[in-house]
Structure 1
Amino acid sequence: MLGGNQRIELAQADTIDHLTAASNAAALIKTVAQRPGRRILNAADPDTPTASEIVGVIAAQLAWVGQITRIEGDPDRGSHPWMTPMILDSTSAFELGYQPVGNGLDLISEEVQWLLSKKSDR
């Protein structure tokens, strides 16, 4: 998007990927630190966005006006890091008192703005 591409191909655009923002992982770590014990917990944002939604949020933050094109049936085109469908069960974390800082899509927006600020620092 920053490179000037006016079209981005996206395979498996409806794939759901359960993200974990750093601030939500930190909130879970704080919760666990206050309640020591032996356990295994999934750390995940409360929402489960699709690949298309993730790319859309990034595009909006960059004020990108290009076109996202859904690609079907061609494994050599449109790959992205969210192609492995995954939903994490965070029930145990919530039962411990985990309170997410925000949902993944909002936190992606903050991350994009932070990355842009670092780019302008150079």
Structure 2
Amino acid sequence: MENIFRIDGWFFKAGLKIWHLLTLNLCILLASLPLVTIGAAQTAGFVVIKRMIEVDESKIVETFFKAFKENFKKSTILWSMFAGILYFLWLDWQLILVMNQSIFVLIGVGIVTLVALNLFQYSF
């Protein structure tokens, strides 16, 4: 029982992982405040998570902002395209809700929206 609270114990390691994830989430939120940088923030977050899994990364903020800076241009261009696609999908939903279309049209647009959102995850 006394081994739980040691520095090399599971309780401390689990708390440290939770702290790293909270720090990463805060970095992503702060970097996403200007809506243009959402793509770069997500990309940097994915880079940090990957390094946390592979190398047991402990420099979360430093790694995040380094990856943010390295991937800013590509990720921002990609995010701009996705924002346009999401805007048109949102317009489709608004149009369908106003026009009272059949359930098949609603299901079709719903499937297209879910596929598009699912594909967006893998591009960053």
Structure 1 length-normalised TM: 0.31
> Which protein shows a greater Rg?
2
Looking at both structures, which has the greater relative contact order when contacts are Cα pairs under 8 Å and sequence separation is at least 6?
1
**Structure with a larger share of its residues in strand:** 1
Structure 2 length-normalised TM: 0.30
